[in-house]
Structure 1
Amino acid sequence: MGDILHALPAVTALRARHPEWFIGWAVEPQWRGLLAGEGADVRGAAMPLVDALHIVLAKDWARRPLSPSTIEQIRQTRRELRAARYDICLDLQGAVRSAVLGKWAHPRRLLGEDKPREWAARYLFDEHIATQGTHVIEQAVEVANAVTRENLPLMLPCLPVSERAERNCNTKLAAFGGKPFVILNPGAGWGAKRWPTERFGEVARTCADKGYGAVINSGPGEEMLAAEVCSASGNTAMSLSPTLDELIALTRRASLVIAGDTGPLHLASALGKPVVGIFGPTDPARNGPFGGKFRILRHPESKRDHTRRAEPEAGLLTISAAEVSSAAMELLEDVR
């Protein structure tokens, strides 16, 4: 989710500069909602950025790499990508898997960063783009600049609007009676990035005391975390498990989002919402909120480490609920 959100500003800038271009995106099915809402109309509100989506079942293929169905799906995907006759492919993920997809499309030019996240991907690129930016969003725009050797602007990305999700969101938020609300997201990709649920609960209680509703967002498999936060909040918070298009609609309505280094934080930043980021083993200078109003909390001794440890990183545990609440209230005061 974060990789797509970090790539969206670059592609949005290309679309704004070249509205006549045909742009496609290869995406795994669970993230389709970041590019197209339900009942998507191409280049309309429900699908504002791209002309085509190529659904790639990469996780299924990894589970059953040698099954006949996987082999046939890979063949179909290759045929579909080649049939689109793309002139240029941008690998904005910097992974071997994404670079291979680019090769499957058989474009005249496959562009990628000179120092991609996965070094082996470099050998699949036709053109290697040296980047100077610190943040991955800046780096993606630099790669996109190389398409026609221009300087694209840094801009908020286009995200889809789903009418069904908008209606569902309004129904779920009716309990707040129009009161402003804050989203808290206790989940994270792995345990080392996960701030304790009891502290999220304390922050939710502070939000309630200050007149804000608190919505606890939980993704698939995170329902127990949300329940722990609600309990720690004294049941002052509302727990929701929205679909991706509902999460976009929900975030558009939020006054603030509080989360660790995880997809919902990057979604809020992409939508221009104020955010409080709680960081530990990942580097916010490279992967944190970008643009807009934000506060980052991170212990100075936290080291960048993408090891998938189950326990919270030690520096993360030094960040108190009072510090997060204070940062949140400062931001909320600024946007009033």
Structure 2
Amino acid sequence: MRVLLVRLGAMGDILHSLPAVTALRRAHPEWTLGWAVEPQWSELFCAAHATPGTAGMPLVDALHMVPAKRWAKAWMRRSTREEVMAVRRELRAQHYDVAVDLQGAVRSALLARSAGTPRLIGEAVPREPAAKWLFKEKVPTRGVHVIEQSIEVVNAIAGDHLDFTLPLLPTDTESEAFAATLPQPFVLLSPGAGWGAKRWPAARYGAVARALAAQGFHVCINSGPMEMALAEEIVQSSGGVVHTLTPSLSKLMAITRRAALVIAGDTGPLHLACALGRPTVGIFGPTDPARNGPFGNDFRVLRHPESKRDHTRRAEPEAGLLTITPEAVTAAALDLLAAPQTSALRGNA
């Protein structure tokens, strides 16, 4: 069986689909799996110069780069149309037997359809309702969490009953060597967010860092290229006890593997920590953790009961998010850090 999996979108969205495909890989190791992905997330599947079936590319046999966001900004350009047709030819040349849309959006469904497969599977009630009219097979899902829903969709390929499985993620030798130089035990803060309403204030992260440092933990900040000002604010508010990192995606995976704990809002690095089985403290506001929060690992979620699900891209933190105190986050963190899987690490400091 040759299976094309389509999941574009953000880092967290892709990570939510990986457990289902990992379970599929283990159930059917002889199958050929291909994945269509935005280029910036290819390191979730493949380390530099890796080959399929190795630790550097453990999950899929082929990657198809689809810069859909860039295409959307320049749809009328001839070069864009040429790129779209080239991807279509690339997909069709693989002669996939089935395409599975794990995104539930019109553009992902169109991409899956362009592969020309005999079967095209998607969710019966997708995120964008119009997408369902492009599917040849529509799968009713009952799971609340998007990870559960992805497993149900993937089950439909061969009538499997797959269980949740931590995803297979690549390892990169250079990145692992870098991560090994970090002081242990360390807590990783990832304060960024897709939009302001999900972003817990920097000064509060700084207060948590001070409290954890006082308990003997090193604290690191994961900062993207556009988040340096946010990281500096945390450094200042922490009294300088934190160390700022600006890693590539491969290095972030290696760093996260070694973290005693990850503290973050509803953002890609939080979901990466869950995918790697690391303990996490999730700080949630306008998004619903029951649907897309931590899953399958040791975690604590803090969310005000009156926070409403709202994906409006507001600049200011949601009101419920602001009721979450540094003391509450610190208490949740110390609770997890005292658990057996991290207490041994702390004892080696």
- Smaller-chain TM-score bracket: over 0.9
| Paired residues of 1:203 and 1:321 also in contact (CA < 8 A) | yes
Identify the residue that residue 225 of structure 1 maps to in structure 2: 230
Choose the corresponding residue for 1:200, options 194, 202, 205: 205
C-alpha distance after superposition, 1:209-257 (max 9, x if no partner): 1111111001231111111111111110000010000000000000000
Q: CA deviation at 1:140?
A: 0.3
Identify the residue that residue 112 of structure 2 maps to in structure 1: 102
Do residues 321 (structure 1) and 329 (structure 2) align?
no
For 1:37, the aligned partner's letter is: A
Q: CA deviation at 1:83?
A: 0.6
Q: CA deviation at 1:94?
A: 1.0
Aligned to 1:313, the other structure's residue is in SS state coil
Q: CA deviation at 1:67?
A: 1.0
| Long gaps (5+) in structure 1 | none
Choose the corresponding residue for 2:64, options 41, 50, 54: 54
State the distance in 2 between where 1:235 and 1:6 align.
34
Identify the residue that residue 90 of structure 1 maps to in structure 2: 100
Do residues 247 (structure 1) and 257 (structure 2) align?
no
Choose the corresponding residue for 1:141, options 151, 166, 177: 151
Counting only pairs closer than 5 Å after superposition, residues 162-241 of structure 1 correspond to structure 2 as: 162-171=172-181, 173=182, 176=183, 179-241=184-246
The number of equivalent residue pairs is 331
| Structure 2 length-normalised TM | 0.94
Choose the corresponding residue for 2:272, options 262, 267, 271: 267
For 1:32, the aligned partner's letter is: S
Identify the residue that residue 160 of structure 1 maps to in structure 2: 170
| Paired residues of 2:179 and 2:258 also in contact (CA < 8 A) | no
Do residues 112 (structure 1) and 117 (structure 2) align?
no
Q: CA deviation at 1:71?
A: 1.0
C-alpha distance after superposition, 1:135-158 (max 9, x if no partner): 000000000111111201111000
Q: CA deviation at 1:169?
A: 2.3
Aligned to 2:263, the other structure's residue is in SS state strand
CA root-mean-square deviation: 0.8
Identical counterparts, % of pairs: 60
Identify the residue that residue 287 of structure 1 maps to in structure 2: 292
Aligned to 2:235, the other structure's residue is in SS state helix
Q: CA deviation at 1:68?
A: 1.6
Identify the residue that residue 122 of structure 1 maps to in structure 2: 132
| Long gaps (5+) in structure 2 | 1-10, 344-349
Aligned to 1:23, the other structure's residue is in SS state strand
| Structure 1 length-normalised TM | 0.97
State the distance in 2 between where 1:142 and 1:40 align.
30
Q: CA deviation at 1:168?
A: 2.5
| Paired residues of 2:98 and 2:117 also in contact (CA < 8 A) | yes
